[in-house]
Structure 1
Amino acid sequence: MEITNPKVFVSYCWTNPEHESFVIGLAEDLVGSGVDIIIDKWNLRDGQDSISFMESMINDKTIKKVLIISDKGYADKANNRAGGVGTEAQIISPEVYASATQTKFVVVTTEKDPEGRHYVPTFYKGRLFIDMSDANNYTDGFDKVLRWVYDRPVYEKPEIGKRPSFLDEPQKTSLGTSSFCARAVDAIRGGKTTVLGYFDEYLSTLAVNLERLRLQVEDANAEDEAFLKNIESFIPERNEFINLVNLVCRFNLGKDFSKRLHAFFQDALAYYYTPELVNSYRETDYDNYKFIIGELYIYTIASYLKYERFDECVILFGKYYVPLKARFGDSPLTSFTVINQNIGILDWRNRTRNLGRTSLHSDLLKERCHGVPLTFNEIHQADFLCYIKAMAITDEPYSYWWPSTLLYSKGRYAFEIFAKASEPRYFHRIQGLLGFLTGHEFLSFINEVENSGRVPKWGFDRMSPLRLSNAEAIAENN
């Protein structure tokens, strides 16, 4: 319980009238601030024993604080054990020496020696004191005395908070690619001849270290949450990859870089399948890789289209050699459509958690489009091109590309590269990427797609390849 009027005994020396006046003035100010001051001038009466009075005051259990006003006279008498001050010093010093953390006794200094050192009794040496030797700083000194009396220091330790929750979260997996990426970026910007080697080194390191992202889930009911945390943890590395690819496209570094990217995706596709020494697995065990690598691919295509690197982009639509497919009786040589896979764990989450979403895959791709130099509309364009390219494949009748992001595309107008392709000069540049020599051939193909049963629908919304591809305008001018 807090004491309303704390009792404080004042120990001082009658050095001279000026000093006594200072002591009485300080005592009066403290009384005015609610402090019950005990001092000989007010509490010692004629006929009483002064020595006994001082001893009783220092030993009185109701007195919580003893204020020592120290000038030269007080320090000398205390050190020499002379007079009443000496008696008080004999009583006080054992208590001060007994505890390094005591707060019952405090010294207020009012005088300094010729060398500027405060007069402090020997028993109090090395402890903090309150300096009131300068009349100009009286207010500051008085405030410090009050804070000491009421145990209200200027700086108080705050309450100890709760342990940060992030400390209990699983440690983020590092893929160890940052330094390799930084070297590649520096080489690109610096025009170094070693840039391709640095780029290849980065991609090779990323392909190998993706192994660290394997899902380890014992509780099947928590697998979807583990999946979401896994792909969320990859965002920094994803942004690192996309920004580097964007830089490659901006600086127009050529087809060798596209070939290195093709090789990277070919290596990464191995993560879609069960490792050779694993016999027990769930179909959704590799869904995090299907999502991550599919996302990297669509962003890569979008970067090449943004900077109109059409010839280089063609390379990424080439065949991919995936030996692990042969384990299931499939040909190891496959089209780029193998990159685009259904994410079963998201279907399970949507169904089991009763989320009622049209496509969680589409939702996630939209939500994650941040921290990169590409807009979501540019992602739509890349996704649509992949769909068109997949529909044109004739040697793999079951190949398909589901353009997940187009759920969020209004589809009211043609995408940029298709709109520009209505001009003959631009169509000539994009012919190799589209895979058609004339605009009429392209229109005939698009009409077949438009009328086929392989056009994506989301509820009542149906995508229009004819409108998005601008095929009629392209055929009219080419």
Structure 2
Amino acid sequence: MLTLQIDKIPKIFISYSWSSDALVLELANRLVFHGVDVVLDKWDLKEGNDKYEFMERCVNDSSITKVLIICDKAYAQKANDRTGGVGDETVIISSEVYGNARQEKFIPIIAERDEEGKEYVPTYIKTRIYIDLSNPEKYEEEYEKLLRNIYEKPQFVKPPLGKKPEWLDEEKTNFFPVKDLIRQIRGGNTSIKRKSCIARFQEAYIEVLKSYYICNVKPEEAYNNFLNTKTVRDIYLEFVETIAETESNYAETLAESFEYLYNKLTCVKTFNPQAYSANKNDLDVYKILLWELFICVIAYLRHIKDYEAINILLTYTYFLENSLFGGEIKQTNYTTFRHHSFVIEEHYKPMSQMKDKYTLVGNIICSQREKFPIYTAEAIAEADLFLYQVCNAYDLPKNERIWYGTCWFPTCYIYVENKGLEWERMKSRRYCKKMEVLFGVNDIEELKGKIEKCVYNSEISYLRGWDAAPAILNYIKVEDIGTLN
């Protein structure tokens, strides 16, 4: 039988001095409007009632979850001197506060400050964290804090406890050299110094990645090894952001970096110079990492809207290793970085609890490897789909390294919510100017010639009936491009 979960109505009591009447009435009315049951003497204390008994009952009433103490000059003085009704309430409240150092029921509300800006607070509650309603400019922000406290809906919630990264137990993993080189790049006062640090960073990054090499890796080891690369992935993304902010030709630098990393990480001799045999699964973790890094870089460039940099990375001719043992370089294009992990998807996934996922690696990338605020699950998935949608427009040479030729299969497209991305905006001539830079053309007619190649392909899909990945022409007609201002 289903039951509805009804939120409990919070109930509070306000302790105050007559000098804050106006503030208290306004605050009480607003809290009631926001669903809070407010107990206030003006509303609930009637002629003939015992004032002291009323105060004591309100303070000790278990149904009252919070007591707001409105602190102004008059209240603080009466509380400290134990005079008047405030003094009576202070006797009751202070015993509760002193009796329980972790008491969260009593919340000081600052209503007034002295000439030096120092808040008026009774001595017995001076060390408590307060809500400050004395500054009109911050009133709304502080009121929200109060309301969240009353409803126990904090703005910042501690995330669930994860597990210790395995690399912490590996003494050979040392991230300091690469992180220090990023700091040196950012602080470099000359182009020569920065370029030197960039070159050293790539070498140091390779050294860090060597610790992830597992000879004759087993499927479950391959999966866990991939999970443990998030920290080293994030370091490279920090490097990307750093050179984007410091180098004028950073897109060329990134293209060269991907070429360098690929050639080093897909050659077994990088990890074992004496190797005479190799298992390609042993290098799988690096191909996944490079694929994910390329997607994340595009996500970053889309975030900062640097379409020229995207054009450079997608039209760059990469000279990449074609052998596990090195020495066999072939020219190719960015689609080589797209990788399908057979060891994880075909060997590990079927025996795991996640066997029903369309893609295990894609699911992990979009659910467990976000890096806020830029690299969200949606941004990563969108960048992956973007790399597929623009591919045909670039007239890239055939990729002889891959059996299906020049194509980027968007593994994460099933996790994209807004599959149209920015393409509908090409109706605007102003927006077309940005897209002309993206596709490397000079006018709208040339742009139309590029877009008309970006057609829907029903084969770009997962099995079991999922819709194929959408193409640019699913969202805009060629004849509609550039028809609006």
Using structure 1 for the length normalisation, give the TM-score. 0.55
Q: 1:253 aligns with which of 247, 252, 259?
A: 247
Specify the alignment match of 2:331 in structure 1: 333
Specify the alignment match of 2:260 in structure 1: 267
Compute the displacement of 1:369 (Å). Answer: 2.8
Specify the alignment match of 2:93 in structure 1: none
Partners of 1:185 and 1:471 in 2: CA distance: 47
1:456 and 1:462 in contact (8 A); partners too? yes
Look up the equivalent residue of 2:385 and give its one-letter code: F
Specify the alignment match of 2:341 in structure 1: 343
Verify: 1:225 aligned to 2:220, yes or no: yes
Verify: 1:361 aligned to 2:361, yes or no: yes
Partners of 2:416 and 2:343 in 1: CA distance: 24
Q: Secondary structure at the match of 2:373?
A: coil
Compute the displacement of 1:301 (Å). Answer: 1.5
Specify the alignment match of 1:198 in structure 2: 197
Compute the displacement of 1:186 (Å). Answer: 5.5
> Could you list the runs of 5+ residues in structure 1 that have no partner in the other structure?
1-164
Verify: 1:171 aligned to 2:165, yes or no: no
Partners of 2:475 and 2:172 in 1: CA distance: 41
1:326 and 1:332 in contact (8 A); partners too? no
1:186-233 alpha-carbon deviations (Å, 9 max, x no partner)? 552676653343233222321344233212346xxxx12211222222
Partners of 1:465 and 1:385 in 2: CA distance: 9
Compute the displacement of 1:454 (Å). Answer: 4.6
How does 1:175-324 map onto structure 2 within 5 Å?
A: 175-185=173-183, 187-188=185-186, 193=191, 194-217=193-216, 223-249=218-244, 251=245, 253-255=247-249, 257-270=250-263, 271-275=265-269, 277-317=274-314, 318-324=316-322
Residues 258 and 319 of structure 1: is their aligned pair in 2 closer, same or farther, counting only changes over 3 Å?
Answer: same
Specify the alignment match of 1:396 in structure 2: 398
Specify the alignment match of 1:379 in structure 2: 380
Look up the equivalent residue of 1:407 and give its one-letter code: I
Look up the equivalent residue of 2:206 and give its one-letter code: A
Compute the displacement of 1:402 (Å). Answer: 1.2
Residues 444 and 174 of structure 1: is their aligned pair in 2 closer, same or farther, counting only changes over 3 Å?
Answer: farther
Partners of 2:305 and 2:165 in 1: CA distance: 46
1:49-88 alpha-carbon deviations (Å, 9 max, x no partner)? xxxxxxxxxxxxxxxxxxxxxxxxxxxxxxxxxxxxxxxx
Look up the equivalent residue of 2:366 and give its one-letter code: K
Q: Secondary structure at the match of 1:462?
A: coil
State, as a whole percentage, how many aligned pairs show the same letter: 15
Specify the alignment match of 2:436 in structure 1: 431
Partners of 1:471 and 1:203 in 2: CA distance: 43
Look up the equivalent residue of 2:333 and give its one-letter code: S
1:9-35 alpha-carbon deviations (Å, 9 max, x no partner)? xxxxxxxxxxxxxxxxxxxxxxxxxxx
Verify: 1:463 aligned to 2:469, yes or no: yes
Q: Secondary structure at the match of 2:460?
A: coil
Partners of 2:177 and 2:167 in 1: CA distance: 25
Look up the equivalent residue of 1:425 and give its one-letter code: R
Look up the equivalent residue of 1:231 and give its one-letter code: F
Compute the displacement of 1:399 (Å). Answer: 1.8
Moved more, 326-335 or 312-321: 326-335
Compute the displacement of 1:299 (Å). Answer: 0.8
Compute the displacement of 1:343 (Å). Answer: 0.5
Partners of 1:260 and 1:403 in 2: CA distance: 25
Partners of 1:199 and 1:341 in 2: CA distance: 26
Q: Secondary structure at the match of 2:481?
A: helix
1:390 and 1:400 in contact (8 A); partners too? yes
Residues 450 and 378 of structure 1: is their aligned pair in 2 closer, same or farther, counting only changes over 3 Å?
Answer: same
1:322 and 1:334 in contact (8 A); partners too? yes
Specify the alignment match of 1:141 in structure 2: none
Moved more, 192-201 or 397-406: 192-201
Using structure 2 for the length normalisation, give the TM-score. 0.55
1:266 and 1:321 in contact (8 A); partners too? yes
Residues 261 and 423 of structure 1: is their aligned pair in 2 closer, same or farther, counting only changes over 3 Å?
Answer: same
**What is the aligned-residue RMSD (CA, Å)?**
3.5
Partners of 1:469 and 1:299 in 2: CA distance: 24
Compute the displacement of 1:344 (Å). Answer: 0.6
Compute the displacement of 1:261 (Å). Answer: 1.9
Look up the equivalent residue of 2:407 and give its one-letter code: Y
Residues 437 and 399 of structure 1: is their aligned pair in 2 closer, same or farther, counting only changes over 3 Å?
Answer: same
1:183 and 1:198 in contact (8 A); partners too? yes
Partners of 2:173 and 2:248 in 1: CA distance: 27
Residues 248 and 204 of structure 1: is their aligned pair in 2 closer, same or farther, counting only changes over 3 Å?
Answer: same
Partners of 2:165 and 2:307 in 1: CA distance: 47
1:217 and 1:226 in contact (8 A); partners too? no
Compute the displacement of 1:235 (Å). Answer: 1.6
Compute the displacement of 1:176 (Å). Answer: 3.8
Partners of 2:327 and 2:247 in 1: CA distance: 39
Structure label with greater radius of gyration: 1
1:252 and 1:309 in contact (8 A); partners too? no
Residues 464 and 332 of structure 1: is their aligned pair in 2 closer, same or farther, counting only changes over 3 Å?
Answer: same
> Could you list the runs of 5+ residues in structure 2 that have no partner in the other structure?
1-162, 400-404
1:379-400 alpha-carbon deviations (Å, 9 max, x no partner)? 2332123213433434206122
Compute the displacement of 1:467 (Å). Answer: 5.8
1:258-289 alpha-carbon deviations (Å, 9 max, x no partner)? 22222221122132344475343334222111
Partners of 1:350 and 1:238 in 2: CA distance: 23
